[in-house]
């Protein structure tokens, strides 16, 4: 302490040890001095340490109304009006609920609870695209995670807390913003338990993950490692409250139609047998209920925390044709833009579009299969076009058939 005493000839900082000639200035204390640089570092540390407790979320202004949200989704997603309506209402109510809970006093006896959403539909029907399109509209942190990489805590893989780590990264580690974000959990059907009965042994990537997800979906304070994973056990945890985080889950649920058909057949007996004729056997997903999800392998607690269940229709031929040309990011527009960047003009015969759609229908890959087919047809043309002197490329039916 003698170095930093006011009576010393040459005073030093008791933290970094530098003399008064090496720093901007020294602050004198009772038994020592501290330099201005150390004061600044200490201030930054206290600010970051206290930020989770001091963060106070503000009300969200200009909440888009359900009709406005659906109109925006219509620009990017063809069809699926039922799913878009349910999603628009849920997102609108989510923000309205946050504002209400922030403004309501302690004497208000009505506290609104959130309703998480489950999207059920075949592959290539637009579940992920719906989530991505909402991300374009909303000014809140948004992240998409894949449930297939998650494992039960203590095993090799990602813990469910890594979901919130990604949300924090999207919010630039602003806790108040992250706690009002939206998370889309894709492929949730892949973590169904392996048997209809509870597992005797550990189901580390199925039922175990569902159990771990409960605390996130319900709304609780979760300890989240800022860097994610368990590789840095010495790092301090960030306490994230999931009460105001909206979770949207999606899955193909391949084969759930069998569970639905079995339930419908057992219910329509006796005098109710006339109802059996009204069932649309080609689209059984529209009758999906909580008990079908339980039979598929979701535990009852998870089903209870996903009260909003909606379905996405299998895309028909007309819908696939519209997907090729109508949305703002339609595939045809994307390829025309690629040719335009090389100074070329792309003209496509309408019959080529019909060929692409028919091929996709035959492969049963939905809208996701359209790009693969287009790539096979266009690959050679995109290889030759940049070096060609021709300013126009005409994609004919004969050319498309030859390359398919």
C-beta separation of 59 from 99 below 8 A: yes
pLDDT band at 5 (very low <50, low <70, confident <90, very high): very low
pLDDT band at 152 (very low <50, low <70, confident <90, very high): low
Q: Tens digits of per-residue pLDDT, 175-218? A: 888 888 889 999 898 888 765 555 555 555 578 788 888 888 88
Q: Report the percent of the chain where pLDDT is more than 90.
A: 26
Question: What per-residue confidence (pLDDT) applies to 53?
Answer: 43
* Mean pLDDT taken over the chain: 82
Question: What per-residue confidence (pLDDT) applies to 9?
Answer: 62
Question: What per-residue confidence (pLDDT) applies to 249?
Answer: 92
Half-sphere exposure of 270 (CA within 13 A, CB side): 3
CATH class of 66-311: alpha beta
The helix (run of H) or strand (run of E) holding residue 294 is helix 290-296
Question: What per-residue confidence (pLDDT) applies to 54?
Answer: 40
Are both 66-311 and 317-403 of the same fold?
no
Q: Name the token pair of 298.
A: 């979701």
Q: Report the percent of the chain where pLDDT is more than 70.
A: 82
C-beta separation of 345 from 94 below 8 A: no
- Alpha-carbon gap, residue 178 to 222, rounded angstroms: 13
Question: What per-residue confidence (pLDDT) applies to 235?
Answer: 61
Domain boundaries, the chain: 2-54, 66-311, 317-403
Average pLDDT over residues 379-391: 90
| 383 or 226, higher pLDDT | 383
Does 104 score more than 70 pLDDT? no
Does 110 score more than 80 pLDDT? no
Does 231 score more than 70 pLDDT? no
Average pLDDT over residues 28-34: 86
Average pLDDT over residues 103-128: 78
Question: What per-residue confidence (pLDDT) applies to 226?
Answer: 73
Number of alpha helices (DSSP H) and beta strands (DSSP E) in the chain: 15, 11
Question: What per-residue confidence (pLDDT) applies to 383?
Answer: 93
| 107 or 363, higher pLDDT | 363
Strand partners, 393: 346
Q: Tens digits of per-residue pLDDT, 294-353? A: 989 899 999 999 999 999 988 889 999 999 998 888 999 999 999 999 999 999 999 999
Does 60 score more than 80 pLDDT? no
Average pLDDT over residues 254-268: 80
Q: Does domain 317-403 have CATH number 3.30.420.240?
A: no
Lowest mean pLDDT among 9-23, 187-201, 230-244, 303-317: 187-201
Question: What per-residue confidence (pLDDT) applies to 227?
Answer: 64
Residue closest to 379 by CA, chosen among 403, 346, 397, 398: 403
Does 96 score more than 80 pLDDT? yes
pTM of the model: 0.73
Question: What per-residue confidence (pLDDT) applies to 192?
Answer: 82
Average pLDDT over residues 92-102: 84
Strands 221-224 and 238-241: antiparallel
C-beta separation of 98 from 138 below 8 A: no
Question: What per-residue confidence (pLDDT) applies to 88?
Answer: 93
């Amino acid at each position: 302490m003698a170095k930093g005493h006011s009576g010393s000839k040459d005073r030093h900082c008791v933290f970094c040890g530098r003399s008064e000639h090496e720093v901007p200035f020294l602050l004198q204390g009772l038994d020592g001095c501290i330099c201005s640089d150390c004061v600044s570092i200490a201030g930054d540390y206290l600010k970051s340490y206290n930020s989770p407790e001091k963060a106070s979320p503000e009300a969200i202004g200009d909440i888009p109304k359900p009709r406005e949200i659906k109109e925006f989704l219509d620009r990017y997603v063809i069809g699926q009006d039922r799913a878009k309506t349910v999603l628009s209402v849920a997102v609108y109510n989510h923000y309205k609920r946050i504002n209400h809970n922030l403004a309501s006093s302690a004497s208000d006896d009505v506290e609104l609870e959130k309703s998480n959403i489950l999207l059920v539909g075949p592959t290539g029907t637009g579940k992920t695209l719906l989530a991505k399109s909402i991300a374009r509209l909303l000014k809140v942190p948004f992240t998409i995670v894949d449930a297939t990489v998650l494992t039960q805590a203590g095993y090799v893989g990602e813990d469910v807390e890594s979901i919130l780590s990604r949300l924090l990264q999207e919010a630039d580690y602003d806790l108040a913003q992250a706690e009002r974000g939206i998370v889309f959990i894709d492929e949730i059907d892949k973590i169904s338990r392996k048997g209809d009965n509870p597992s005797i042994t550990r189901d580390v990537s199925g039922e175990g993950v569902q159990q771990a997800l409960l605390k996130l979906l319900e709304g609780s304070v979760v300890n989240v490692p800022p860097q994610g994973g368990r590789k840095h056990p010495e790092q301090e945890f960030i306490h994230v409250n999931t009460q105001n985080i909206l979770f949207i889950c999606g899955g193909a649920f391949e084969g759930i139609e069998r569970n639905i058909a079995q339930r419908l057949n057992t219910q329509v007996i006796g005098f109710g047998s006339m109802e059996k004729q009204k069932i649309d056997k080609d689209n059984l997903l529209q009758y999906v209920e909580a008990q079908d999800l339980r039979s598929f392998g979701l535990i009852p607690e998870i089903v209870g925390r996903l009260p909003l269940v909606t379905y996405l229709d299998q895309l028909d031929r007309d819908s696939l044709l519209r997907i090729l040309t109508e949305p703002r990011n339609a595939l045809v527009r994307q390829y025309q833009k690629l040719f335009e960047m090389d100074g070329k003009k792309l003209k496509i015969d309408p019959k080529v579009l019909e060929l692409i759609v028919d091929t996709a229908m035959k492969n049963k890959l939905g809208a996701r299969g359209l790009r693969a087919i287009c790539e096979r047809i266009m690959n050679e043309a995109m290889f030759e076009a940049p070096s060609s002197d021709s300013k126009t490329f005409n994609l004919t039916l004969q050319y498309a058939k030859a390359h398919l």
